Amino acid sequence: MDLRFGKIGRGLCAGVIYTALGVGANPALADPALRALATGEMAGVALLEAPLAVPDVAFAAPDGTDRRLADWLGEVVVLNFWATWCAPCRAEMPSLDALAAAQAGRGVAVLAVATGRNPPDAIARFYAEAEIAHLPVLTDRGSGLARAMGVMGLPATVLIDREGREVGRIVGEADWNAPEAHALIEALRTR
């Protein structure tokens, strides 16, 4: 079954649209080098004027242990919030998996966090059906991390620099294996 939606449908199926990142989201004042890369598939990325600290909220690893974003300090993190019931989320997961494979060993962590009610068997079934092989199974069962980060629509992807600060985000489906996505991640990696 093909779950791809065109660029027009991306925002329509994303649920409640995040309120433009409130204070701090001003693409005109964001890092000019990053702003120049927010084109094509990454045109919807809202870049922050100044990086923001991410919250210290636990989420679950596959073995049930708590993980925190601080566990990935020193790496660029592409943090995606998704759900098994969200069609645009499911459509973009293969591109996130491809990004994770391409960036393996390069100081980039691609984390797909299933937020809310996502039964483990439904996650496993989707990963198998979509042949997701490079993304860890991470869960935010009570949506504590998503709430703390102000995620109000799915899918949502937050870009976090090596110092553990949010530098941008996009709400809605994106092709994370597109050249523009790789260029933006590379710019964050080499800053």
CATH code of the domain in which 93 resides: 3.40.30.10
What integer pLDDT is reported at residue 119 of this predicted model? Answer: 93
Position 29 scores a pLDDT of 52
pLDDT tens-digit readout, 51-60: 999 999 999 9
Under DSSP, the state recorded for 143 is -
Tokens at 124, concatenated: 């496993």
Decide if 2 is inside a domain: no
pLDDT at 65: 95
CB half-sphere exposure, 101, CA atoms < 13 A: 11
pLDDT of 31 strictly over 60:
yes
Q: How confident is the model at residue 77 (pLDDT cuts 50, 70, 90)?
A: very high
Q: Is residue 60 part of a domain?
A: yes
Mean pLDDT of 36-56: 92
Please give the pLDDT value at position 159: 98
Domain that holds residue 133: 7-189
Q: What is the mean pLDDT of residues 145-160?
A: 97
What local confidence, expressed as pLDDT, does residue 79 receive?
98
Give residue-wise pLDDT tens across range 91-101: 999 999 999 99
> Is 1 within the bounds of a domain?
no
Gap between the Cα atoms of 26 and 34, Å rounded = 13
Stretch among 28-37, 73-82, 97-106, 129-138 having the lowest mean pLDDT: 28-37
Total domains in the fold of the chain: 1
pLDDT at 7: 36
Element (H, E) at 96: helix 87-103
Q: Across the strands, what pairs with 160?
A: 77, 166
Q: What pTM did the predictor assign? A: 0.85
pLDDT of residue 62: 85
Q: How far apart are CA 166 and CA 124, in angstroms?
A: 29
